[in-house]
Amino acid sequence: IPEKVFGMDDLKAFWAQGNKIEVVPPSIGNLRLLTQLRLFKNRLRWLPAEIGELSALQVMWVQDNMLISLPSTIGKLGQLRVLAVARNPLRSFPCELCKCASLKEVDVEGLDDSLSVPPIDVVRQSVQASFQYLKEYQRRLAWIAETSVLDLSSMGIKASTLPLEVTNMTGLTSLNLSRNAMPALSGSLFHMVSLTELDLQE
C-alpha cells in the first residue's frame, strides 16, 4: 500500500481488496475519518494495533486473509457495526471486542472449531452471546496474575489449539480444561514449562 494513502486525512472509505497485500502499516491509524475499510482477499497475517485509532470506523471487512488473531485495540472502535472475518484461521477473538457497543453483525462463515474463544457455535448464536462469553472468559483470566491458576472448565472449547493468550502464560502452574469437547491434546501445552496440574476430565 503506498504510504501516501495514509496521509489522506479526509479519507472516509478505503477499498483495497484482492491486492495480495501482506502488511498494513501502523500509519493506517492516521485515517481518523475512515468509516469503511475493505481489505478482504489479501494475504494479511495480522493487523496493527493502530487499527484501534480509527474511531469513526463502522465497517471492517477482512475476510479471506490469513489472520489467526485480531488486535486487542479493536475494542476502541465504538462505532463499529459490521466485522467480517470469514474464512480466516482465527483461533480467538480478543476479550476487548465486547467493548464494541455498536457491533451488530459478525461474519464468521467458514470458521470452524479452530476458533476456541468464543467457540464457533456461540458466535453463530448472536453478537450478544459472544460478548457474554468473552466477559466470562476475561473474568477467569483476571485470576491468573494472583494465583497462576486458570479454570476454563465447561467453557465449550472444542478446538484442539488453545488461544495464544493462554499458551503464552509461561508462569501458569494449574490449568483446568475439564468438561470441554476438545478433540485432541493441544501441542502448545508442552511449551507451558511451569505447568504442574492439568485437568482434562470429562
- CA 36, distance to chain mean position in Å, is 19
Q: Is the pLDDT of residue 46 over 90?
A: yes
pLDDT digits 0-9 by tens, 148-192 = 888 888 888 877 777 777 777 777 888 888 888 776 666 667 777
d(CA 41, CA 48): 18
pLDDT digits 0-9 by tens, 47-88 = 999 999 999 999 999 999 999 889 999 999 999 999 999 999
d(CA 37, CA 58): 8
In order of their start, the domains of the chain are: 1-111 (3.80.10.10)
Q: Which of 135, 44, 112 is nearest to 127 (CA)?
A: 135
Q: Edge-to-edge, what's the strand order for the sheet holding 149-151? A: 149-151, 174-176, 197-199
User: Sorting pLDDT into bands at 50, 70 and 90, what band is 200?
Assistant: confident
d(CA 120, CA 132): 14
